[in-house]
Structure 1
Amino acid sequence: MLLTEDQELIADAARRIAQEHLAPNAAALDRGEPAAREAFLANLERLAANGFMAVDAPAEYGGTEAGTTAFALTVEAVGNACAATGVTVSVTNMVGEVIASVGSEEQKRTHLPRLADGTYKAGAFCLTEASAGSDPAALTTRAVMSGNEWVLNGSKLYITSAAYAGLFVVWAVTDPDAPKGKGISAFLVEAGTPGLVVGREEDKLGQRGSATNAVHFEDCRIPADALLGPLHGGFRIAAGELAGGRIGIAALALGIARAAVDAAIAHIKEREQFGRPIAAMQGPQWMIADTETELEAARLLILQAAALKEAGRPFGKAASMAKLYASEAAQRATYTALQLFGGAGYIRDHPVERYARDVRITTIYEGTSEIQRLIIARDTLA
């Protein structure tokens, strides 16, 4: 699938910034060095200044308005250099997209420019709960109208970027008597709002530089106009945005895998065994050939899903196929890369062990592989 000139320019710019500023910081960020976290936050501002935190948002609100394909290319490029930054960029863009899609004019004018220019360092989705992961209709967080305010109570789990997000999209039950999934609404809550409490940062296997926290709402009062979209229309909003977010996570997985395979290719060209480079041997050649084929197939599925979304056509099944295939192919690719490094790949002197840890979550968040298979099967058999 050929890209337009504008899409190529955006991808090139994202790659340049990512390789110059993100890649040199990625290992230290993974180790949790305080200076690396500061550099990470500065890089989020740099990405915003170059238009990468609101790629698909309308230009009249400060966005780049470059489309879903440009968004996918951006996340791939950023994730290739630093997966922790890549997931932050992906989620922040999706926060902007949901506001642009269903927000009021006032919400768009208030929040989209702040996401686009980096005033909000990141955006966060508060959907997952301890008893509502793959089943978002099982939410227990409540929002009750009190006077001219909504009062939020409940807890969310595994919220990406919560520690430094400036804006949260929060889903809560607004009609507990409605059929399951029918009485849920979405709200916009700014960081610093009394009653919004960010919990401790999770100690994760991979993407360690991206903060993941519990978020608690303790009599958190927000104005009536913080309601995002129609009252009781939150489940439909969540389902739509999760579908779009799957394109971003697929692209992130591809970026991580591409970094791992490129490192492995460079290694086997230099590493000699039995008097010749490993790359001259048929076994490693076939491993590379199979991996390259899978990653190219993943790339085409991602671009197809992005093109459908840009065209306003149904894209949910395509997004699930892209996310399922790309995330699982990426895991195979990173482990192939680690295998080609041999024992050296298991050592932190080389980045492939980090790529293998970073890519693991991509088959879990934004809908597990099992959920993607359910979506694909139901659409196919309908």
Structure 2
Amino acid sequence: MTYSASMAVQRLFPTDEGHDLLDLTREVVAKELRPKVDAAEAAAALGEEFPTDIFRILGRAGLLSLPHPEEFGGGGQPYEVYLQVVEEIASAWMSVAVGVSVHSLTAFPVTTFGSPAQREALLPGMLSGHQLGAYGLSEPLAGSDVAAMTTRATRDGAGDDGAGDDGATDDPAYRIRGRKAWISHAGHADYYTTFARTSDARGRGISCFIVPGDAPGLSFGAPEKKMGLHCDTVREVIYEDVPVDAARRIGDEGQGMPIALAALDAGRLGIAAAATGLAQSALDVAVAYAKEREQFGRAIASNQGLAFLIADLEAAVLGARAAYLFAARLKDAGRPYGKEAAVAKLLATDAAMRVTTDAIQVLGGAGYTQDFPVERYFREAKVTQIFEGTNQIQRLVISRHALG
């Protein structure tokens, strides 16, 4: 049995270039991702394996930097184009799609809040396709409660004030000490977009830094043993007096919280798109199986009860896609989109959980085996309701917007 996950999805792009990028993405997915995903995920479940070669392929194709400025090596694409590419990647390999979203998230602070000198110095490497980033925000005791973080950056000598130069100094301006938890790409990243406390001022005590991956004092915990997304290596990142020049502090000292929250709005859309792609693949498998599997002398798809279930799953996937695209178009128009991003993340990830669960039900006992991919999709869907802000946090965000 073959599956054409999301190949039949109707897509609209604001430019012809978007359609060309989709064609390129589908070509890369068919040639490089789909044939390798099952073996790679199974191998990674038994021990650490990271798809560095896949990220390099996506980087050479220009698919790691689509929403970032062209003048620094990005694709200069609207967010709605970038997100549909992420969805297409997720339809084949969810771990890689999450990695693409995380990488884009790590460059967002420099793109959006960096000085001209910082963009010129840092973005070409970040967007080259040769570097991969990690996002250091969560901590063992500071997940949803970002303000509770304890990782601290302290001034270390005169150093550089970070204002308008290339970042070269004789002495580091800060030293970072603390721990970050649940960090994708940890141990494999070329840089760590890190949030650390620079003061105890309420609401203004956190700052953002770009920490080189080879910085002295940087180390990592053992890979977490997760129920899914095995190729998305997640570890604790340990900072032991890690030196960071002030020119690698993004924004003003104390501006880290608004930078983190703005980045998370964009990151939530990436997860929403990835969850939609995952749900689409589960739906495709369920539909193909229902049309081929016969019981009582006819295909099970002819049973109205199952047909209506398929209809509900189709509606859930289409609703998720519509939600993230609407939020993306607001973002592309320069309008506020925080509430809509939270809605999209909530709807898409809940849809992914429901669709993958019911896809297993459609396949029956076969769906519970590793002979079909829906059991993997189910395991991968669960974490989408947790990372980039749990869905309980999304409801908090949405209710605050709705209630003013």
TM over 0.5: yes
| Equivalent residue number for residue 347 of structure 1 | 369
**CA shift in 2, pair 1:37/1:7, >3 Å:** farther
The aligned counterpart of 1:165 is: 189
Q: Deviations over 1:15-63 (max 9, x none)?
A: 2212221111111121125999878211101111111111111111000
Identical amino acids, percent of aligned pairs: 39
Structure 1 residues 357 and 263: CA distance shift in structure 2, 3 A: same
* CA–CA distance in structure 1, aligned partners of residues 49 and 217 of structure 2: 27
User: Of the candidates 378, 381, 385, which is equivalent to residue 356 of structure 1?
Assistant: 378
Which runs of 5 or more structure 1 residues have no equivalent in the other structure?
A: none
After superposition, the Cα gap between the structure-2 partners of 1:38 and 1:374, relative to the gap in structure 1 and judged at 3 Å, is: closer
The answer (yes or no) to whether the contact 1:25–1:39 under 8 Å persists in 2 is no
Q: 1:277 is aligned with what amino acid? A: A
* Gap regions ≥5 residues in structure 2: 1-10, 160-172
Of the candidates 130, 133, 157, which is equivalent to residue 123 of structure 1?
Answer: 133
Distance 2:192 2:378 in 1: 30
The 1-side partners of 2:370 and 2:46 are apart by 19
User: Residues 33, 175 of structure 1: CA spacing in aligned structure 2 closer, same or farther, 3 A cutoff?
Assistant: closer
Alignment of 1:112-151 (within 5 A): 112-120=123-131, 122-147=132-157, 148=159, 149-151=173-175
* Contact 1:72-1:248 within 8 A present in 2 as well: yes
The whole-number CA distance in structure 2 between the counterparts of 1:302 and 1:56 is 15
Contact persistence 1:91–1:123 (CA under 8 A): yes
TM-superposition CA deviations, 1:163-192 (whole Å, max 9, x none): 21111110011012x12x321000000101
Measured in 2, the distance between the counterparts of 1:93 and 1:376 equals 24
Change (3 A) 1:36 1:104: farther
Alignment pair present for 1:254 and 2:269: no
Distance 1:40 1:293 in 2: 33
Choose 103-112 or 151-160, whichever is displaced more: 103-112
Confirm or deny: 8 A CA contact 1:317 1:375 kept in the other structure.
Answer: yes
Alignment of 1:198-209 (within 5 A): 198-209=220-231
| 8 Å Cα contact 1:53/1:93 also seen in 2 | yes
- Matched residues in 2 for 1:369 and 1:321: separation? 9
Q: Secondary structure at the match of 1:117?
A: coil
Per the alignment, residue 105 of structure 1 pairs with: 116
**Residues of 1 paired with 2:277 and 2:48: CA distance?**
21
Corresponding position: 1:236 with 2:267? no
Are positions 1:53 and 2:64 aligned together? yes
Greater helix proportion: 1
Q: Distance in 2 between matches of 1:204 and 1:37?
A: 11
Deviation per residue, 1:213-238 (Å, 9 max, x gap) = 10000011111211111110000000
Letter of the structure 2 residue corresponding to residue 127 of structure 1: L
Q: Secondary structure at the match of 2:195?
A: strand
- Cα distance in 1, alignment partners of residues 310 and 199 from structure 2: 54
Which of the residues 27, 42, 55 maps onto 1:16?
Answer: 27
Instruction: Name the counterpart of 2:167.
Output: none
Q: Provide the C-alpha distance between the structure 2 equivalents of 1:274 and 1:9, rounded to a whole number of angstroms.
A: 46
> Which portions of structure 1, spanning 4 or more consecutive aligned residues, are displaced by more than 6 angstroms?
34-39
CA distance in 1, matches of 2:299, 2:322: 32
Q: 1:259 to 1:269 in 2, by over 3 A?
A: same
Q: Deviations over 1:281-315 (max 9, x none)?
A: 11111111011011111110110000000111000
Matches of 1:247 and 1:284, distance apart in 2: 31
Instruction: Give distance in 1, aligned partners of 2:117 and 2:76.
Output: 19
1:331: which partner in 2? Answer: 353
Residue number in structure 2 paired with 1:71: 82
Cα displacement (A) at 1:86: 0.6
- CA gap of 1:36–1:215, structure 2 versus 1, over 3 A, is closer
**Which shifted more, 137-146 or 1-10?**
1-10
